[in-house]
Amino acid sequence: MKSISKRIFAALVCAAVLVVSTPITAYADSTLDHLNDQYSELEKQQQALKDKLNQTKTEKEKQEAIRNNLNNQITTTQKQITLLDNKINYLQNDIADKEERINELSAEVLEQQDLFMKRIRSIYKTSVGTSMLGMVFGVDSLGSYLSYGKYLSRISEHDSALLQTLSDNITELRDLQQQMQAEKEDLADTKVTAESKKASLTSQKTEVESTLQDIKKMEQEYLADQATIQKEMKQIQADIDAIYAANSGNGSQVDYSTTGFIYPVNGYTYISSYYGWRFNNTDYHTGVDFPAPANTPIRASASGTVIYVRTGAGYGRAWGYGNYLIVDHGGGFSTLYAHCTSVAVSVGDTVTKGQTIAYVGTTGWSTGYHLHFEIRRNGAHTNPLNYL
């Protein structure tokens, strides 16, 4: 079936208004108008979705920029934390080194003290021995004693100086150690600050990620809506095409004014809506409505060939006729059966008068179970009651 573009279709409607005598006029009726309106409405919805998608894209880019910025900040903060860790480790090692050196020096102090005591003891023994000898033998004892006394004093001075130096070194190391400890504590504080900053940035990032997920989900929904609308637009276009195609009759000469059509729902002849203007002349009803329970069989009003079947319509879906079919009867006549629950025949099937072809439903623009039935002559809808 050839597709008629919206533009060409609009042109056709215009032509129909101008050239009243062509059969096309018949389709500038409520059905076509409705289909046309639906198409325009869907086009509007498509545009609105396009706008929403653009807004979504802008918002997505904005959030992505924020996220990238947060990522950079997190990286910088992490670098800072690593650097602080290195410095803290370095100081820790240095403090340990100093401790080791202090221990070494302390050991040396003890050793020196020990040596000093040994020397004192040795000098004492020697001097006492000498004086004893001096006292016993009276030999030069005083001179020797003085000489030992000076020696003892010098030894003592030397050892004191050595011990003092060692002690000074230890004090100096302890001071350095304390400074390092203080510096280390400062760095640890800075690290705590940096880590809390990083945690805050990470939580911000989590929020942005979640916003981005929402936006992406919304985007997916819009895209899905767009696809659905595109599908519906295509269906409406196909409906419009079908109406045109269905009305190019095969030209066989059957006089239905004598052979007649039968009521399409056996046992249900009550009409809830007649052919013609209705609703205070706001809607032109292109057929008649026969209310009947769900799934009541619909029969072919006359023998003919199925030339169009549309199924797959849901309830309250955009396209007006819902599931419907058109049977061509020759002689320029065709019948249309709309809002069906299901259709029992296929395009090309030959049907005989009275044969079940579909079942009553309420698909498409319908507020209750009924058959919308049309009889068209040379494509133009007519009052079915003229033929039933």
Using CA atoms of 228, 234, 235, 241 in order, give the dihedral in degrees to the nearest 10: 170
Binding window for Zn ion (CB under 5 A); candidates: 108-116, 289-297, 315-323, 361-369? 289-297
Gap between the Cα atoms of 187 and 318, Å rounded:
69
Binding window for Zn ion (CB under 5 A); candidates: 113-121, 146-154, 212-220, 367-375? 367-375
Gap between the Cα atoms of 137 and 110, Å rounded:
40
Q: Quick one: 98 or 381, whose CB is closer to Zn ion? A: 381
For the sheet with 356-359, list strands across it. 297-299, 356-359, 342-343
Binding window for Zn ion (CB under 5 A); candidates: 39-47, 119-127, 141-149, 371-379? 371-379
Query: Least CB distance from residue 349 to Zn ion, whole Å?
Result: 24
Q: Are 344 and 357 in contact (CB under 8 A)?
A: yes
Binding window for Zn ion (CB under 5 A); candidates: 54-62, 299-307, 351-359, 365-373? 365-373
Q: Are 285 and 279 in contact (CB under 8 A)?
A: no
Q: Quick one: 333 or 373, whose CB is closer to Zn ion? A: 373
Q: Does 289 bind Zn ion (CB under 5 A)?
A: yes
Query: Least CB distance from residue 3 to Zn ion, whole Å?
Result: 26
- Give 3-state DSSP helix, strand, coil % of the chain, rounded to 5: 60, 15, 25
Q: Quick one: 229 or 375, whose CB is closer to Zn ion? A: 375
Number of shown-chain residues binding Zn ion (CB under 5 A): 2
Binding window for Zn ion (CB under 5 A); candidates: 116-124, 142-150, 253-261, 288-296? 288-296
Q: Which of 34, 191, 299, 372 binds Zn ion (CB under 5 A)?
A: 372
Q: Are 35 and 239 in contact (CB under 8 A)?
A: yes
Assigned token pair, 135: 């006292």
Q: Does 376 bind Zn ion (CB under 5 A)?
A: no
Phi-psi region of 281 (alpha: psi -120 to 50; beta: other; left: phi over 0): left
Query: Least CB distance from residue 8 to Zn ion, whole Å?
Result: 27
Gap between the Cα atoms of 174 and 102, Å rounded:
8
Q: Does 34 bind Zn ion (CB under 5 A)?
A: no
Q: Quick one: 76 or 383, whose CB is closer to Zn ion? A: 383
Which residues are bridge partners to 382 per DSSP? Answer: 375
Q: Quick one: 356 or 362, whose CB is closer to Zn ion? A: 362
Q: Are 31 and 172 in contact (CB under 8 A)?
A: no
Q: Quick one: 143 or 368, whose CB is closer to Zn ion? A: 368
Query: Least CB distance from residue 339 to Zn ion, whole Å?
Result: 8
The residue written with tokens 């004090």 in the block is 171
Binding window for Zn ion (CB under 5 A); candidates: 83-91, 146-154, 191-199, 372-380? 372-380
Site for Zn ion in 106-125 (CB under 5 A): none
Count of helices and strands (H, E) across the chain: 4, 12
Q: Does 374 bind Zn ion (CB under 5 A)?
A: no
Cβ-closest position to Zn ion: 372
The residue written with tokens 């009924």 in the block is 370
**Per-residue binding letters, 246-285, with Zn ion (x by CB under 5 A):** ----------------------------------------
Query: Least CB distance from residue 291 to Zn ion, whole Å?
Result: 11
Query: Least CB distance from residue 286 to Zn ion, whole Å?
Result: 7
Gap between the Cα atoms of 87 and 161, Å rounded:
37
Residue 290: strand, helix, or coil: strand
Query: Least CB distance from residue 43 to Zn ion, whole Å?
Result: 25
Gap between the Cα atoms of 234 and 228, Å rounded:
10
Assigned token pair, 347: 């395009």
DSSP E strands in the chain: the ranges are 276-278, 283-285, 288-291, 297-299, 304-310, 323-330, 333-340, 342-343, 350-351, 356-359, 370-377, 380-382
Binding window for Zn ion (CB under 5 A); candidates: 173-181, 246-254, 317-325, 369-377? 369-377
Kindly tell me the burial class for residue 6, based on how many C-beta atoms sit within 10 Å of its own C-beta (0-12, 13-18, 19 or more).
Answer: middle
Quick count: other Cβ atoms within 10 Å of Cβ 70? 20
Query: Least CB distance from residue 285 to Zn ion, whole Å?
Result: 6
What residues line the site for Zn ion (CB under 5 A)?
Answer: 289, 372
